[in-house]
Amino acid sequence: MTASLDRADIGVEGATDRSPPPPAEGADPFIVAIDGYEGPLDLLLALARDQKVDLLQISIQALADQYLGFIRRAQFAEIEFAAEYLVMAAWLAYLKSRLLLPAADPTEAADGEEMAAALQARLAQLDVMQAAAAALRLRPRLGVHFFPRGAATAQEPRPAPGPVRADLSGLIAAYAAVLKARAQRQPLTLEAGDWASIEQAIARIRRSLGDAPGWESLMRYLPAETMALLREGRLAGRSQLAATLAATLELAKEGVLALRQARPFGPIFVKALRTAQEPE
Amino acid sequence: MSGPVPYARRLLEALLFAADSPVSMRELAKHLPDGTDLEAHLAALAADYAERGIQLVRSGDSWSFVTAPDLAAALAAEAGERKLSRAAMETLAIIAYHQPITRAEIEDLRGVQLSGGTLDLLFAQGWIATRGRRETPGRPVLWGTTDEFLRAFSLERLSDLPSPEDLKAAGLLQPQAAPETAPAGEE
Amino acid sequence: MSGPVPYARRLLEALLFAADSPVSMRELAKHLPDGTDLEAHLAALAADYAERGIQLVRSGDSWSFVTAPDLAAALAAEAGERKLSRAAMETLAIIAYHQPITRAEIEDLRGVQLSGGTLDLLFAQGWIATRGRRETPGRPVLWGTTDEFLRAFSLERLSDLPSPEDLKAAGLLQPQAAPETAPAGEE
């Protein structure tokens, strides 16, 4: 049972796996696609590969020209997406000028060479990592090529409670869950103002009570705009409804009216017991 | 195990192993070439395992692997470790990050009451300890983590825990659940 | 399976089979008499299963049974492959090869900022974990790979990852690789 890298596992097809698609040949040959690239360094690496020489020997001047040419024809969907590519373009143009122009000061020329060498090293490093990613992708993978035990089953008796197992990743994930849940918990907030007072509701009911004999729906005692507010789901409507109900309960206690509700959540009816136009 | 094992038997073995409950003959047959003598292969597989620590058992029309009955005592004796519950893990994380902290503060952070056993469990593991009392009405007990906690979670010091900002930077605080797959070209 | 199987091997078999995740050597050792040669028993057990439909694999310090990779097609009828983005795979490779490493260092290597979801995805898979902090200004969090990463990519240990030379030999670093031996311009 060896898990060491088998060369057969990472066939040459892997090399295509890591490369972004070549610049798409669209209708307009002067526009190239930037979508396939993971940032300017990735684009630069793809262009460098086209030179087909060791990355540490690559011509940085030629590479800079290729890159600048590519960027000139590129179409960017978003400006902030373009920015990082343009920063690289500016830097390459600067580097190129450093390499091309005879330097007044010999240390300046050396600086240019150093910058070029550093870029070559960076590209070589990224190249290795992209190859490593491709090699990883080609490995047999849990859940894709092989599978874990479907269910942990031991014969009875079940293990007695013992020490518990936990690890740091679990702890961090748990804390992240707490913070997330906390951020999502909305404190109860109420719209300011617009609250109906019970006193007003009592006064309103006293005014209209007894206009009609017999049982009447509680709804008749609501202010005119309440139904519209309720339909819109506004808290003000519910407040008026609640205030009106509380007012009828208060008035029932005073013996001014009687209330009737046949079943839970059923309609509520009001009946005047005596004329209550004038306050007691 | 001796000699080459027929493909059908290897496949049955893998199917039964990866299943999360006993698998019916009908289901097993679906994965095998038509005309395979399923009964014969299962009988051979059961014989392969007769003396092993795992056994192939039939229950009605279904088959599954189970541990050998004679090992039950040895398996139970030292008790496999249990996984820490989510509530306990969250509580431990809150104590680690916010210590010293009172029980009420933990409950406030989690938005739910602590069940009785949670702190007891963490205390029994030696991961938390009391850290005096808060000088507020009721003088509630304060909790903190122990050196044993650091050892158990391979931390050198508390400050090695990633900060909330680190978690945020790593995308761990994004409100939606972690995606199983990332869209191509996400950067 | 041939001949009597030693008790220790049967017990290991049952323990690993009954576990819901890889079991560490430390945990396995607890169940066996002192002085048992655990490595030898595990090696023998792995050999027993070498040709079977189930295999015993090591990932770092832990062991687990998994199905044999060559049976993937027959087993995977229902399991859809989760495709990982290039960004995620490159980030994972960089962490595996350069651990412990900070987020900024990963971004520097790739020459592009990490999108929020990338580390989150790798963390949610259990493939990466924090490894303390770098003692530099800002004390950035360090990331590394886990044993679960090794298991998921069928690696026994980190040193099984191919070296740059291996990658060249496998053709993954063509065509600019090895200029000493290959004339420039060769495909």
The residue in chain C having the minimum alpha-carbon distance to the alpha carbon of residue B72 is C14
Which residues of chain A neighbour B14 with C-beta distances below 8 Å?
Answer: 147
Give the Cα separation of A142 and C56 in Å (integer).
Answer: 13
Question: Which chain B residues contact residue A182 at CB under 8 A?
Answer: 109, 111
Of B4, B162, B178, the CB nearest to C51: B4
pLDDT at B185 over 50: no
Chain C neighbors of B18, CB-CB under 8 A: 67, 75
Q: Do A170 and B110 touch (CB under 8 A)?
A: no
Cβ-nearest to B169 among C27, C51, C103 = C103
> What distance in Å separates the CA atoms of residue A181 and residue C102, rounded to the nearest whole number?
27
**pLDDT confidence of A267, banded at 50, 70, 90?**
confident
Give yes or no for a cis peptide into C100 (omega within 30° of 0).
yes
Distance in Å, alpha carbon of B131 to nearest chain C alpha carbon: 25
- CA contacts within 13 A on the Cβ side of A119: 24
Tell me, yes or no, whether A49 and A134 share the same domain: yes
pTM strictly above 0.80: no
Amino acid C82: pLDDT: 64
CA distance A116 to chain C (A): 16
- Assign A54 a pLDDT band (cuts: 50, 70, 90): confident
Q: What number of other Cβ atoms are within 10 A of residue B151's Cβ?
A: 12
pLDDT at C20 over 80: no
Q: How far is B139 from chain A (nearest CA, A)?
A: 26
For residues B62 and C95, which has the higher predicted lDDT (pLDDT)?
C95
For residue B30, the one-letter residue type is K
State the count of interchain CB pairs (< 8 A) between A and B. 125
Query: Which class in CATH covers the domain with range B7-71?
Result: mainly alpha
Quick one: pLDDT at residue C171?
78
Residue type, A158: R
Say if CB A43 and CB A84 are below 8 A apart: no
Q: Which residue has the higher pLDDT, A204 or A14?
A: A204
Q: Given CB atoms, is B57 within the 8 Å cutoff of chain A?
A: no
B14 to C75: CB separation less than 8 angstroms, yes or no: yes
Question: Cβ contacts (< 8 Å) between B56 and chain A: which residues?
Answer: none
Point out the residue among A38, A55, A129 whose CB comes nearest to the CB of C176.
A55
In this structure, the answer to whether residues A130 and A202 fall within a common structural domain is: no
Task: State the nearest Cα–Cα gap between C27 and chain A, in angstroms.
Answer: 11
pLDDT at B43: 93
Looking at residue C1, its pLDDT comes to: 54
Do the Cβ atoms of C126 and A18 come within 8 Å?
A: no
Closest partner residue to C179 (CB to CB) among A3, A53, A172 is A53
Do A133 and A211 sit in the same domain of this protein?
A: no
In Å, the largest CA–CA distance within chain B is 79
Q: What is the DSSP string of B39-103?
A: HHHHHHHHHHTTTSSEEEEEETTEEEEEE-GGGHHHHHHT-PPEEPPHHHHHHHHHHHHH-SEEH
Of the residues A98, A119, A138, which one is the last residue of a structural domain? A138
CA distance C23 to C45: 15
Residue owning tokens 């049974």: C65
Span A146-155, average pLDDT? 64
Q: Highest mean pLDDT range out of A64-68, A98-102, A221-225, B115-119?
A: A64-68
Domain residue ranges in chain C: 7-71, 86-169
| Contact between C50 and B2 (Cβ < 8 Å) | no
Angle, helices C86-98/A106-137, rounded to nearest 10 degrees: 110
Contacts of A151 in chain B (CB under 8 A): 19-21
Query: Is B79 in the A-facing interface, judged by CB distances under 8 Å?
Result: yes
Contact A165 B175 (CB under 8 A): no
- DSSP three-state, residue B24: strand
Q: Greatest CA span in chain C, whole angstroms?
A: 63
Q: A254 and A202 in contact (C-beta within 8 Å)? A: no
Which of A6-20, A56-70, A127-141, A251-265 has the least mean pLDDT? Answer: A6-20
* Residue A165 lies inside a defined structural domain of this protein: no
Q: How far is A14 from chain C (nearest CA, A)?
A: 6
Place of tokens 């290729």: A66
The minimum CA-CA distance between C165 and chain B, rounded to whole Å, is 28
Residues A7, C169 contacting (CB under 8 angstroms) = yes
High-pLDDT (> 90) share of chain C, %: 43
Q: A142 pairs with which residues across the strands? A: A146
Segment A171-187 mean pLDDT? 81
In whole angstroms, what is the distance from residue B128 CA to residue B146 CA? 5
CATH architecture, domain defined by C86-169 = Orthogonal Bundle (1.10)
Closest residue in C to A11 (Cα) is C170
Tokens 């997406």 belong to A81
Q: What CATH number does residue A213 fall under?
A: 1.10.10.580
Asked whether residue A78 carries a pLDDT value surpassing 80, the answer given is: no
pLDDT in tens, B104-160: 999 988 888 888 788 988 988 889 999 989 888 888 999 999 888 888 887 888 888
| A171 lies in some domain | no
pLDDT in tens, A3-23: 333 333 333 333 334 444 444
* pLDDT reported for residue C34: 83
CA separation for the pair A257, A246 (Å, rounded): 13
C30-39 pLDDT, tens digit per residue, is 888 888 899 9
Average pLDDT across chain A, whole number: 75
Q: A1, A126, A172, A188: which to substitute to probe chain B, counting the most B Cβ within 10 Å?
A: A172
How far apart (Å, rounded) are the C-alpha atoms in residues B52 and C9?
Answer: 8
Q: Supply the range of the domain harboring residue A114.
A: 40-138
Residue A156: is its pLDDT beyond 70? no
Chain C residue numbers with beta carbons less than 8 Å from the beta carbon of A51 are: 176
Does the distance separating the beta carbons of C31 and B78 come in below 8 Å?
A: yes
Tell me what percent of chain A is helix, strand and coil, each rounded to the nearest 5: 55, 5, 40
Same domain, A49 and A125: yes
φ, ψ of residue B66 in degrees (nearest 5): -140, 165
Residue A44: count of CB within 10 angstroms of its CB: 25
Sheet-wide strand order for A268-272: A216-217, A268-272, A257-261
State how far the alpha carbon of C139 is from the alpha carbons of B163, C74, C132, in Å. 10, 49, 9
Q: Spell out which residues of chain A touch residue B94, defining contact as CB-CB under 8 Å.
A: 175, 178
Residues of B in contact with C11 (CB under 8 A): 53, 71, 74-75
The minimal CB distance from B17 to the residues C54, C77, C113 is found for: C54
Tell me if A155 and B67 make a contact (CB, 8 A cut-off): yes
- The better pLDDT of the pair A46, A102 is held by A46
Report the residue of chain C nearest B52, measured CA to CA: C10
Q: How confident is the model at residue B49 (pLDDT cuts 50, 70, 90)?
A: very high
Whether the CB-CB separation of A40 and A63 falls below 8 Å is answered with no
Boundary-marking domain end, from A110, A138, A166: A138
B51 chain-C contacts, CB cut-off 8 A: 1, 4-5, 10
| Measured distance CA(C132)–CA(B138) in Å, rounded | 38
Last residue of a domain, one of A91, A111, A138: A138
Q: What is the pLDDT of residues B77-103, one digit of tens each?
A: 555 556 788 888 999 999 999 999 999
Checking if the pLDDT of A209 tops 90, the result is: no
Q: Is residue A90 part of a domain?
A: yes
Chains that touch C (3 or more CB pairs under 8 A): A, B
Contact flag C109-A126 (C-beta cutoff 8 Å): yes
- Give dist(CA A241, CA A253) in Å, integer: 19
- Residue B157 touches chain A, beta carbons under 8 Å: no
Interstrand relation of A164-165 and B82-83 (parallel, antiparallel or unpaired): parallel
Residues A203 and A117 in one domain: no
A137 and C176: CB-CB below 8 Å? Answer: no
Chains touching chain A, criterion 3+ CB pairs below 8 Å = B, C
Q: Could you tell me which residues come within 8 angstroms of residue A188 by beta carbon, excluding any fewer than 6 positions away?
A: none
- State the total domains in chain A: 2
In angstroms, the Cα distances linking C16 to A130, A164, A193, C24 are 35, 18, 66, 10
Q: What is the DSSP letter of B20?
A: S
Q: Closest CB to C64: pick one of A3, A126, A148.
A: A148
Cβ atoms of B51 and C4 within 8 Å: the answer is yes
Lowest pLDDT segment from A29-38, A72-81, B117-126: A29-38
User: Among partner residues A154, A158, A162, which is closest to B81 by beta-carbon distance?
Assistant: A162
CB contact under 8 A, B80 and A161: no
| C171/A5 Cβ within 8 A | no
CB C175 within 8 A of CB A52: yes
Q: How far is B2 from chain A (nearest CA, A)?
A: 16
| CA–CA dist A125, A154 (Å, integer) | 48
Q: What is the DSSP letter of A196?
A: P
What's the pLDDT band for B177 if we cut at 50, 70, 90?
very low
